[in-house]
Amino acid sequence: MSSAPAASLPYSEDGDLNCFRGTAFHTKMSDSYIIGVDVGGTKVAAGLVSPSGKISHQHQIPMVATDASAGLAAVTTVIRAVRTATELDPALPGSIGGIGICAPGPLDPRQGIVINPPNLPGWRNFPLAVEVGNAFDMPVRIDNDGNAAALAEAMWGVGRGCRNVFYATIGTGIGTGLVLDGRIYHGRTGAAAEGGHMTIDYHGPRCGCGKLGCIEVLASGPAIAKRASEKIKLGRNSTIVQERSIPGSSITSEMVGRAFAEGDVVAREVLEETAMFLAIWLGNIVDLLEPDVMVIGGGVAGMLQPFLGQISDQIPSWSVNSRCREIPLLPAHYGVEAGIAGAAALCRQ
C-alpha cells in the first residue's frame, strides 16, 4: 500500500511569521515605539507609531518604482528621516523597537519578499525585509496594505477589542484584510483576503484582474465615476457635469460625491446602487466569516459614510445569518495614515 505524498507546507507549521535581521528576534515589542512605513507606487511615507497607535514625526518622499536599489534607497531615506527626528525630540524614547512596512501585493509576508506588484516594476522577488533589516539592524516585518490596515483597526481603531475583524479599503480599487483571533489571516501561501475580486455579478463588467463583475469593478471610485458618466451620456440631467473644473474632462468619484452633497438625483442613484452592491458583497462576507465587526476605509469611504446605515439595512436580504444585524459596519479610524499605522501594527502581532 502506497501512502499519498504529504501535502507541502510552504511555511513553518506553527504559522509564525519570520522576522528579518541579523539576529533572532522573539519579543513582542509591545511597549516600544515602531517606525511604520507605507510604500506606494508614487510615494513612500513613514512615521513613528506609539504603543497606543498614535502617529507622529511623519515624513514622505517620492518612491522610485522602476529601479530596485533606488526604490530601496527611498525607503531607507524616509526611515532615517523619522529616526533622526525621533532622536532629536527629547520627549521621545531614545530607541526604536522595530520597523514595519506595508507594500503593494503580491508579496510573501513570511519570507519578507515583494513578489511582483504591478505598480512597483523595479522590485521582482525583492527581499525587502532582509535589505531594510540589514540597513538598520532592527527587526522588520512586511505585509500588504490591506492586511496591515485591518490589523491597525483591530489593534487601535474601531475594531479594538474584537477578535475577528473584516476590513475593506475602497478607493481606486477595493482591498480587504482579515484579522481572525487577533492575527492576520494569510491563507496557504499568503495570497488570501483578495475580497475585492469576489464576483457578485457574472454578467457585470470586466475587472482589471480579468474576472467579470468583481465588487471592485462595481463599487470602487472609478466604478462610481463610470456609472455616473454612463447615466449622463444617456441624457440624464445632473449637476455632476458642473463639478468639472475643465469642461469636457472625465467625471471622477469626487465629483459624484460633491454633487450628492448638493442634492443631485443622479449622484444619489449612483451611490445607492453602490450601496446595494456593497450590501450583496458584505452579505456573502457575513455568511462566510461572521466577523465581530466590518470596517470600511479608503478614499471613497467618506463619500459612502451616509450610506452605511442603508447598507446595514440591506445586508439581511443577502445573508442567511439570522443575527447579521448585530454586526456593526463602521467607518475606519485611520484615514490616509492607515498604511503607517498598519505597518507598525505588524510588529506587535
Q: How far is the CB of 269 from Zn ion (least distance, A)?
A: 24
Instruction: Closer to Zn ion by CB, 83 or 197: give it.
Output: 197
Residue whose CB is less far from Zn ion, 144 or 349: 144
Judged by beta carbon, residue 183 or residue 211, the one nearer Zn ion is: 211
How much is the CA Rg of the chain, to the nearest whole Å? 21
DSSP string, 45-84: EEEEE-TTS-EEEEEEEE---S-HHHHHHHHHHHHHHHHH
Length reported for the chain: 349
Q: Which is nearer to Zn ion, 22 or 205 (CB)?
A: 205
Give me the sign of the Cα torsion angle 189, 30, 54, 78.
negative
Q: Which residues contact 297 (CB under 8 A, 6 or more apart)?
A: 149, 153, 167, 168, 169, 170, 331, 332, 334, 335, 338
Q: Which residue number, 157 or 195, has a Cβ lying nearer to Zn ion?
A: 195
| Between 79 and 170, CB nearer to Zn ion | 170
Applying CB under 5 A, the site for Zn ion has a residue count of 6
Q: In angstroms, give the least distance from the CB of 290 to Zn ion.
A: 24
- Window 197 to 216, contacts with Zn ion (CB under 5 A): 197, 207, 209, 211, 214, 216
Q: How far is the CB of 265 from Zn ion (least distance, A)?
A: 30
Cβ 216 to Zn ion shortest distance, Å: 5
Judge contact between 331 and 312, C-beta under 8 A: no
Residue 112 or residue 175: which is nearer to Zn ion going by CB? 175
CB of 227 to Zn ion, least distance (A): 16
Is the four-CA dihedral 204, 209, 214, 215 of positive or negative sign? negative
What is the bridge-based pairing of β-strands 165-170 and 55-62?
Answer: unpaired
Compute the least distance from the CB of residue 21 to Zn ion, in Å: 36
Q: For residue 133, what is its C-alpha cell?
A: 533589516
4 is written with which cell numbers? 499519498
Nearer to Zn ion by Cβ, of 173 and 257: the residue is: 173
To Zn ion, the closest distance from the beta carbon of 213 in angstroms equals 9
Q: Does 258 bind Zn ion (CB under 5 A)?
A: no
Contact (CB, 8 A) for 295 and 113: no
Question: 132: part of which helix (H) or strand (E)?
Answer: helix 128-136
Between 88 and 127, how does the x/- string for binding to Zn ion read (CB under 5 A)?
A: ----------------------------------------
Please, which residue, 216 or 337, has the CB nearer to Zn ion?
216
CA-wise closest residue to 144 among 40, 58, 61: 40
Give whole-number Cα distances, 169 to 69, 121, 123, 191, 339, in Å.
30, 23, 24, 17, 11
Provide the minimum distance between the beta carbon of 211 and Zn ion in the complex, in angstroms, as a whole number.
5
Cite the DSSP H helix spans in 156-305. Answer: 215-219, 221-233, 253-261, 265-289, 301-304
Q: Compute the least distance from the CB of residue 274 to Zn ion, in Å.
A: 16
In the chain, what is the straight-line distance between the N-terminal and C-terminal CA atoms, in Å?
44
Residues binding Zn ion (CB under 5 A):
197, 207, 209, 211, 214, 216
